[in-house]
A and B are shown apart, each in its own frame.
Chain A
Amino acid sequence: MFKMYVFKGGTYRHDEIIEKIEDLGGIVMQKTPMQTEIDITFALQAPDLDNLKELAKKLKGDILEIPFGDMEIAIVSPSLSRHHLPHPVCDISEFLRRYGATTNIVGLARGYGKTIFQIKDIEKKMIEEHDAAIFSYGLFSDCIVLKEKETKEISTSYIICGGPSKMPFDNYIGNIGRKGGRMRSAAEIATLEELKEMLLEKIEKTRESIEKDPPPYAPVYIKRALEEQLGIKGTLGDNPVVLHLNGLRIKLPYNIYYNKICDVKIGNVTLGDLSRINKSYMNDTILVRLLSESELGGE
């Protein structure tokens, strides 16, 4: 299975790294030059990494694993008001981005209050489109207990954050309640690290289940094919094709691009044959879920 890495080093001879990645069967996802420095995000099979690390060492660069590089994570806030943003919701989001995640902040329409709290069906579906979700709740345990009941139906892996240090749920991280300032003290960063570790643990289970019955082509391979065949180009800030663990989100209008995406050639077949392509509940984007080999009938 492909894993995501980032090469951090100088621009001098960086083309050698790109060539080596391609020789090893890896896929370069993004190049971010910053004056004399460059970040190259790429996907590679884990056993081939040692070979690349030798070259990176020669060029005085560094290769880091970005564990959430192929994931889209929803950070769910009770609302998009100043009570929850920018702290701690944006702090969590920013922290996970450092590890390669593509994060979306989802503000619930009626996620606040104790007696008036609710999650709409469409919001649940929107959250389930992501690989994982993080719910950021408030300071009071009584309210968190009530809100946790509502989130139980969500099928994707999720973590609940809140103020009280302990709660009777397995997927709970404390001390991330409402904050007046940025989470930058050592204790707060340690809490965010704890959140990251818990998320990694949860995702590892999902990855294992995908690995048991994987789709015939990895999402990174499909992403490259889409970009090449449809000429999709992003900017440094916006990534038009977002990786999921078992699919992709394509940020293009569904009605216009559905047929074009179905016809994209992957090997001898088309993407339409390999996946379920649906309209996303988020901003008229396209959601591609790759079918596993068993779902495709082992063809």
Chain B
Amino acid sequence: MEVEVRGATPEENKQQKKLCEDMFKDLGLGKKLKKILIICDIGMPAFYVACKFKKDVQPIYLKDIARIREQATFKRLQITEERYYDQVISILGEKFGNENIIQDERNIIKVKGSTTSVENIKIYDFTEEVRERIIDALWHILPEGFKVRQFKHFPDGFIVMATDIPPIQEFADQIESMKQEFGGEEDV
């Protein structure tokens, strides 16, 4: 994880950087982030944070956590990751109906009457969890009183602005320039 802090005095930037690094390390999020850029505009006052996730932060598909075997009347799934049992059963139940999902053994699930492929069913979107956890960590890192917030989300990151005054055009302009620097394209 690379952290860059700009805008304040070098000493303040250094301390803010250390706070940010310590916080993400403690929360185990350091390995999920590629880069964080914090711009402190104390005069305004406003804080801008741009985060970019690493490429390994991807959604989990059924094929990633199960061995799938086609049988005559059903598909047999052997789940290899115990923590996703609940999600697999509930998602398959929603998709194919609860009556068609049979859990024979703890890690064996049979799906009856499925005509479509099950491999690419998204079981768990880790990106969203990482995004939520990073945002939560940011509320800890940014000064407390800055509760007027504005987001710009991208598939692989986001930009957030926090201030304690009503929003003005300058904030949007700064977010736009950070977006260009970070290479975010679509707003999700």
A140 & B40 in contact (Cβ 8 Å cutoff): yes
Cβ contacts B134-172/A at 8 Å (1 or 0 each): 000000100111100000000000000000110000000
Identity of the chain A residue whose Cβ is nearest the Cβ of B164 in the assembled complex: A113
B19 & A180 in contact (Cβ 8 Å cutoff): yes
Residues of B within 8 A of A81 (CB): 144
Q: Residue A177 contacts which of B15, B21, B146 (CB distance < 8 angstroms)?
A: B15
Residues of B within 8 A of A141 (CB): 9, 12
Residue A121 at the chain B interface, CB threshold 8 Å: no
Q: Residue B144 contacts which of A78, A140, A165 (CB distance < 8 angstroms)?
A: A78
Chain A at the B interface: SS class? loop
Identity of the chain A residue whose Cβ is nearest the Cβ of B26 in the assembled complex: A180
Residue B8 at the chain A interface, CB threshold 8 Å: yes
Cβ contacts B62-82/A at 8 Å (1 or 0 each): 000000000000000000000
Residue B23 at the chain A interface, CB threshold 8 Å: yes
If A140-B40, A142-B43, A181-B22 touch, whether A116 touches B145 (CB-CB below 8 Å) is yes
Q: How far is the CB of A139 from chain B (nearest CB, A)?
A: 5
Identity of the chain A residue whose Cβ is nearest the Cβ of B18 in the assembled complex: A180
Cβ contacts B16-32/A at 8 Å (1 or 0 each): 10110111001000000
CA distance A143 to B143 in the complex (A): 11
Residue B11 at the chain A interface, CB threshold 8 Å: yes
Q: How far is the CB of B10 from chain A (nearest CB, A)?
A: 11
Cβ contacts B30-51/A at 8 Å (1 or 0 each): 0000000000101101000000
Identity of the chain A residue whose Cβ is nearest the Cβ of B145 in the assembled complex: A113
Q: Residue B8 contacts which of A114, A140, A165 (CB distance < 8 angstroms)?
A: A140
CA distance A141 to B43 in the complex (A): 11
Residues of A within 8 A of B145 (CB): 112-114, 116-117
If A82-B140, A112-B145 touch, whether A179 touches B19 (CB-CB below 8 Å) is yes
A164 & B11 in contact (Cβ 8 Å cutoff): yes
Cβ contacts A120-140/B at 8 Å (1 or 0 each): 000000000000000000111
Cβ contacts A6-17/B at 8 Å (1 or 0 each): 000000000000
Q: Among the interface residues B8, B11, B45, which one has the most CB atoms of the partner chain A within 10 A?
A: B11
Q: How far is the CB of B41 from chain A (nearest CB, A)?
A: 11
Q: How far is the CB of A206 from chain B (nearest CB, A)?
A: 32
A139 & B19 in contact (Cβ 8 Å cutoff): yes
Q: Residue A140 contacts which of B18, B23, B26, B42 (CB distance < 8 angstroms)?
A: B42
B12 & A113 in contact (Cβ 8 Å cutoff): no
Residues of A within 8 A of B165 (CB): 115
A115 & B45 in contact (Cβ 8 Å cutoff): yes
A143 & B42 in contact (Cβ 8 Å cutoff): yes
Residues of A within 8 A of B164 (CB): 113-116
Q: Residue A113 contacts which of B15, B22, B43, B146 (CB distance < 8 angstroms)?
A: B146
CA distance A204 to B145 in the complex (A): 36
Residue A178 at the chain B interface, CB threshold 8 Å: yes
CA distance A164 to B9 in the complex (A): 9
Residue A83 at the chain B interface, CB threshold 8 Å: yes
A114 & B144 in contact (Cβ 8 Å cutoff): no
Q: Residue A112 contacts which of B8, B22, B43, B144 (CB distance < 8 angstroms)?
A: B144
A163 & B140 in contact (Cβ 8 Å cutoff): no
If A78-B144, A112-B143 touch, whether A140 touches B12 (CB-CB below 8 Å) is yes
Cβ contacts A164-202/B at 8 Å (1 or 0 each): 110000000000011111000000000000000000000
A139 & B16 in contact (Cβ 8 Å cutoff): yes
Shortest Cβ-Cβ A-B pairs, 10 listed: A113-B145, A180-B22, A112-B145, A112-B144, A113-B164, A83-B144, A114-B45, A142-B42, A180-B23, A163-B15
Further contacts, 12 of them, CB under 8 A, given A79-B144, A163-B12, A165-B11: A112-B145, A113-B144, A114-B143, A114-B164, A115-B164, A116-B164, A117-B145, A139-B15, A163-B15, A164-B9, A164-B11, A180-B23
Residues of chain B at the chain A interface (Cβ within 8 Å): 8-9, 11-12, 15-16, 18-19, 21-23, 26, 40, 42-43, 45, 140, 143-146, 164-165
Write 9 A-B pairs (CB below 8 A) sorted by A numbering. Answer: A83-B144, A113-B164, A114-B164, A139-B8, A139-B16, A142-B45, A143-B143, A180-B26, A181-B22
